[in-house]
Amino acid sequence: MNTLLQCAARTLDLSAPVVMGVLNVTPDSFSDGGRFLDTDVMLRRVADMLAEGASLIDVGGESTRPGADPVSIQQELDRVIPAVEAIHSEFDTIISLDTSTPEVIRAGAAAGAGFINDVRALQREGALQAAADTGLPICLMHMQGEPATMQGAPSYDDVTAEVQAFFAERLIACRFAGIEENRIVLDPGFGFGKTDAQNVELLAALPSMMALGLPLLVGLSRKSMIGRLLGREVEDRMVGSVALALMAMERGASIVRAHDVAQTMDALRLFCAVNKRTTV
């Protein structure tokens, strides 16, 4: 497995798990919608996450919570590009673009982003070519349906096998578009068109995803499944989030996406100490 991702001018070392800090510049995200629309507040949050140990910052301008409606291209550009430009000018860090939109992929890369994180696995028209042209690493996520409808009635005969088959298909599409596998990260898409039972099954089977030979990104932070399984509101899901992040690390995840960066880094450091690995 490739453990070094060239993210524009910076290199992301995945020889040990790393934490991706979440930054939503949207008014309606399920956990922190509207909190970081002010540039000064947003930059203070980025500074905090980097100080806490985040290796990259994931900037999203379109909510993908269950039931969310898509935003216009211009709305997403207006939210994301100023944030990317501000972070790029202030901090020496890798900026991840949480987007499916070709225009945002191109503009974000030009503004200083170094990683593309697409919940639709480059399936929007033009996204494959836009991603290929940037030369940046890409995370392909599995989602059954679209955010507005994905949690209506998720159905699988074998969730793990079907997610793996989806990735195999998308890897072929990427290859034809000129995207080499050493630029690709995979995300099983916990909570995206999956029931709680399917999420649990997929997490338990995460080591089988390693057969594809690519790094895995896992996003379980503050997800609704934690609320339902533990009876916790979104503001009380930190412990559950860190526990699931640790389980993901133990099962092979290279990147864990987190709102609670400091607490997730504590878990990562203990994981690395027990496994005699150096945190990166």
Enzyme catalytic residues: 223, 257
Task: Spell out a b/e string for 37-58, using b for 16 or more CB atoms within 10 Å of the CB, else e.
Answer: eeeeebbebbeebbebbbbbbb
CB 252 within 8 A of CB 209: yes
- C-alpha distances in Å from residue 202, one per residue of 6, 18, 140, 153: 29, 21, 16, 17
Single out the residue of 89, 256, 67 nearest to residue 147, CA to CA: 67
Single out the residue of 63, 66, 104 nearest to residue 82, CA to CA: 104
Rg (C-alpha) for the chain, rounded Å, is 17
Single out the residue of 102, 81, 103 nearest to residue 25, CA to CA: 81
Let me know the angle formed at the C-alpha of 225 by 223 and 230, rounded to the nearest 5 degrees.
110
Contacts of 82 (CB under 8 A, 6+ apart): 39
User: From CA 151, how far away is CA 237, in angstroms rounded?
Assistant: 20
Q: How far is CA 32 from the centre of its chain?
A: 16
Beta bridge partners of 255: 18, 217
Q: Which two tokens stand for residue 42?
A: 């947003």
